[in-house]
Structure 1
Amino acid sequence: MNDKEQSSIQLTKGQRFPLTIKRLGINGEGVGYFKKKVVFVKGALPGEEVVVEVTKASQRFTEAKIRKLRKTSQERQAPPCPIYNECGGCQLQHMDYAATLRGKKDIVAQAFYRYTKLSEEKLPLNDTIGMDNPWFYRNKSQLQTRKTNGTVAAGLYKEGTHELIDLSECLVQHKELNAVTQVVKTILQDLSIPIYDEKKHNGQVRTIVTRVGFESGQVQLVLVTRTKEFAKKELLIEKVRKKLPQVTSFMQNINHERTSLIFGENTHHLDGEETINERLGEFAFDLSARAFFQLNPAQTVKLYNEAKKAAKLTGKENVIDAYCGVGTIGQWVGKNAKEVRGMDTTKEAIADARKNAKQHGIRASYEVGTAEKWMPVWLKEGFKPDVVIVDPPRSGCDGKLLQSIVKAKPKRVVYVSCNPSTLAKDIEQLMKKGYKIKNIQPVDMFPWTAQVESVTELTL
């Protein structure tokens, strides 16, 4: 049988065969090859020899599950979370932590090999920066609420379903968030406040959102409701005030749409302050309910220090901070800049960014809107950036923004990424216009998940 005939072989659901796992995939699954077909196996680790059963087959790739482990990796461990296999929030607790860091470096490398023309020898990729203690690191929790057998539950959907897994405790969320959420569930239960029913699109409380300031100890509680008015609101506020004194900001967000998005457009103040405070190094930031802020404060300091190193500012440079959120990255590097300008589509985040810049004494200005809208405007006004910092969503940079960067010709681009695939695709576009990669630094912002962030330094 020749290579063409082998590659055209169609695997079928239920088919079983032996497989050697070569590497980790971008979602944390094991990746192997059977008759030149790529096979993704959830829970399998590099170096393992397994017998798998096909669960989904297509021309491009195949998904399979482990039926038998013939050779077990020395990097395999028992996951400490009791609901690890049901929850789906983490993907790598069955893997030694040091091995996950190597795996994440390889995930970044594979993305560049796939989407750029760079070879292994020409890829300036560093080892992943990890955590000393990779537990209880998340500063924000967003748990869907449901009524299950008459009891209020709050948790995450089981992977690939809308079956809710109740999270009474989570090993990657700050302990205070676990504690606050449990009390809120009890209050909702005791007051018989109607819980949202996704199928019927009725009920009131949809999501319990909590965020904690690691340094300040302040906790913000946001209840996402289907309607502005809901039963026993004043009594609820009173109960939260009494039972949860650590909650210094209590907000309500209204989301009346049939959607998987957590937040709606309207947010209302219920009690306490409208923001909580968080400190990163020497900088303090005020955070409103919908403002984006990195979820792992300890690793954020490492990530931003890498961005600062990559920016190489001397005090003479104009900086554009695209997708700026509350201004954290731009202000982190801003003391060494001539001027910082940033933009974000969330108006509350821009209000926070302006307030934070004033508080930090940074010469910075911020606008509501997209980077692709504001960069051409600033260029026309004569504001030429020497350094552009981008920290886009997982979908990567908008094509118009990349065009604006090419037109502006900054000497340096610092790309902070949460998705290696879109990072590599965007950088390939910039490389076609003359930019060169100087350094790629992966940072483990979310231990035990397959996600990996990175800072890439590009020069013209």
Structure 2
Amino acid sequence: MTKQAITIKKGQQFPLTIKRLGINGEGVGYFKKQVVFVPGALPGEEVVVEATNIHPKYAEAKIKKIRKRSPYRVTPRCPVYEQCGGCQLQHLDYEAQLREKRDIVIQALERHCRLPVETLSIRPTIGMDDPWHYRNKSQFQVGIKKGTVIAGLYGLNSHQLIDISECLIQHPATNRVTNIVKMILQDLRIPIYNERTQTGVVRTIVARVGFHTGDVQLVLITATKDIPRKQLLVDEIKRRLPEVKSIVQNINGRKTSLIFGEETELLEGEEYIQEVLGDLSFELSARAFFQLNPVQTVKLYDEVKKAAALTGTEKVVDAYCGVGTIGLWLAKDAREVRGMDVIPEAIEDAKKNAKKHGFANTMYTTGKAETLLPKWVKEGWKPDVIIVDPPRTGCDRALLQTILRVQPKTVVYVSCNPSSLARDIDVLSESYHVDYIQPVDMFPHTAHVESVARLVLKIRA
């Protein structure tokens, strides 16, 4: 049967009943069997919309009127919620957000996996006790508005900088540091970078806080190596922000959407700040990747530990290991943990972290799992459990085929993208039974949802 062509016209207004939330947090409805995505609309609502964009397989629309409101619609707490676009779901009650995130996982499985969804155990989403002020790091672009230094995010689908003085999902310490640094830049008349003319110096203020220690690291991203009145700037930051233990400059002179450049220089204080997860402590340098929600990360890693179900005798592989956080979380319950990553600096950090915590049963190697695993198996070392925590694109196809060949008893898949999780489960289901999928809400008020999937090797008859 051929797909019906889109007949909706741009600017057309029509009634719509919203059936569910899409993967980006927008409402999804059907008009004459055609899919329509409506940002800000909620499941169960009856709305009148206006078509804004027409695509070959779907249309986008905006709300003109809500005829029937969802009982779970709430007033967003953030004053710039609608302009900013950093959160997508502040207008939805938090408990309802958790239910909808589980449904986003179900939708991805229906779309990208051949397994019947009704046969899978998809557990209720694990939420936060307090779903506000959970982010430990902010990256706010700097600009000038009516002669005043502002810092924030670019507006939804625009290049207009929205000044954000009190972000409700950021830790209060990062908000405070960003606001005071804006004032210092203003007071000292330090040139702010202008993207259009490519002039000026300071581009971005990055603030990261250790939830456990309260220590703050401040990174100023600049377009040039030279900062006018640099020492005065550093002295003023130290005087007005004693909690800042590390002041770093990163130079990025390129015309790019990437925040960080290649060159980093310590201006004052320590090179690292400390963060603690459970019994483990980590040193965080300016460019080190670390989970953005430390409180919920403990819950996520505990779910990984439950899914791995280690007894002390297992050989574990931590693929995409980064600085080793997940592997070290499991190390005391494993016989041996071997981790790999393609980033050499991450592997060096993983080795340091393992040594610092006294783990003698870990080994970290630079490289790809699909290359290293067959080599280890050939040498007589076969893993019992493989943990994968891939980027949003999912596992490398070669790694999935390697897992199917090596056949560890258990695969624990940590996912930040339900669509790639569903696609990869579809491949692995050739040899693995999906025991369960546990969604975890790492980013309240956004459409993102993480999951931990436990896959168990099928017993061949």
TM-score normalised by the shorter chain: which range applies?
Answer: over 0.9
Are the counterparts in 1 of residues 20 and 42 from structure 2 also a CA contact under 8 Å? yes
Structure 1 position 28 matched with structure 2 position 20: no
Are the counterparts in 1 of residues 5 and 57 from structure 2 also a CA contact under 8 Å? no
Q: Which residue of 2 aligns with 1:88?
A: 85
The change in CA–CA distance for 1:354 and 1:320 in structure 2 (over 3 A counts) is same
Alpha-carbon displacement from aligned partner over 1:12-52 (angstroms, at most 9, x marks no partner):
11111111000011111000111111110010000000111
Shift of 1:251: 1.6
Segment drifting more, 128-137 vs 8-17:
8-17
Q: Which residue of 1 aligns with 2:418?
A: 420
Segments ≥4 residues shifted beyond 6 Å: none
Identity %: 62
Are the counterparts in 2 of residues 291 and 325 from structure 1 also a CA contact under 8 Å? no
Query: How far apart in 1 are the matches of 2:344 and 2:2?
Result: 54
Shift of 1:376: 4.6
Structure 1 position 446 matched with structure 2 position 443: yes
The letter for the 2-side match of 1:148 is K
1:303 to 286, 296, 300: 300
Alpha-carbon displacement from aligned partner over 1:136-192 (angstroms, at most 9, x marks no partner):
111111111112222221111101111111111111100000000111111112222
The letter for the 2-side match of 1:421 is S
Secondary structure of the 1:12 match is coil
Q: Which residue of 2 aligns with 1:409?
A: 407
Number of aligned residue pairs: give it: 456
Alpha-carbon displacement from aligned partner over 1:89-113 (angstroms, at most 9, x marks no partner):
1111111110000000000010001
Q: Which residue of 2 aligns with 1:456?
A: 453
2:285 to 288, 295, 309: 288
Q: Which residue of 1 aligns with 2:98?
A: 101
Query: How far apart in 2 are the matches of 1:184 and 1:147?
Result: 14
The change in CA–CA distance for 1:371 and 1:208 in structure 2 (over 3 A counts) is farther
Secondary structure of the 1:141 match is strand
The letter for the 1-side match of 2:362 is A
Shift of 1:447: 0.5
The change in CA–CA distance for 1:20 and 1:80 in structure 2 (over 3 A counts) is same
Q: Which residue of 1 aligns with 2:214?
A: 217
The change in CA–CA distance for 1:71 and 1:254 in structure 2 (over 3 A counts) is same
Shift of 1:372: 4.3
Are the counterparts in 2 of residues 10 and 58 from structure 1 also a CA contact under 8 Å? no
Alpha-carbon displacement from aligned partner over 1:186-219 (angstroms, at most 9, x marks no partner):
1112222222222233322221111111111111
Query: How far apart in 2 are the matches of 1:157 and 1:93?
Result: 18
Q: TM-score, normalised by structure 1?
A: 0.95
Secondary structure of the 1:188 match is helix
Shift of 1:116: 0.7
The change in CA–CA distance for 1:378 and 1:243 in structure 2 (over 3 A counts) is farther
Structure 1 position 256 matched with structure 2 position 253: yes
Shift of 1:387: 1.4
Query: How far apart in 1 are the matches of 2:45 and 2:350?
Result: 48
**Structure 2: 5+ residue stretches without partners:** none
Q: TM-score, normalised by structure 2?
A: 0.95
Query: How far apart in 2 are the matches of 1:145 and 1:372?
Result: 42
Shift of 1:134: 0.6
The change in CA–CA distance for 1:375 and 1:274 in structure 2 (over 3 A counts) is farther
Query: How far apart in 2 are the matches of 1:148 and 1:354?
Result: 46
Query: How far apart in 1 are the matches of 2:115 and 2:64?
Result: 37
1:323 to 308, 320, 323: 320
The change in CA–CA distance for 1:371 and 1:244 in structure 2 (over 3 A counts) is farther
Are the counterparts in 2 of residues 30 and 42 from structure 1 also a CA contact under 8 Å? yes
The change in CA–CA distance for 1:379 and 1:257 in structure 2 (over 3 A counts) is farther
Q: Which residue of 2 aligns with 1:366?
A: 364
Shift of 1:421: 0.6
Secondary structure of the 2:250 match is strand
Structure 1 position 394 matched with structure 2 position 402: no
**Structure 1: 5+ residue stretches without partners:** none
Q: Which residue of 1 aligns with 2:169?
A: 172
Shift of 1:451: 0.5
Are the counterparts in 2 of residues 287 and 326 from structure 1 also a CA contact under 8 Å? no
Shift of 1:277: 0.8
Shift of 1:380: 5.0
The letter for the 1-side match of 2:386 is V
The change in CA–CA distance for 1:279 and 1:89 in structure 2 (over 3 A counts) is same
Segment drifting more, 167-176 vs 111-120:
111-120
The change in CA–CA distance for 1:251 and 1:297 in structure 2 (over 3 A counts) is same
Query: How far apart in 1 are the matches of 2:198 and 2:368?
Result: 32
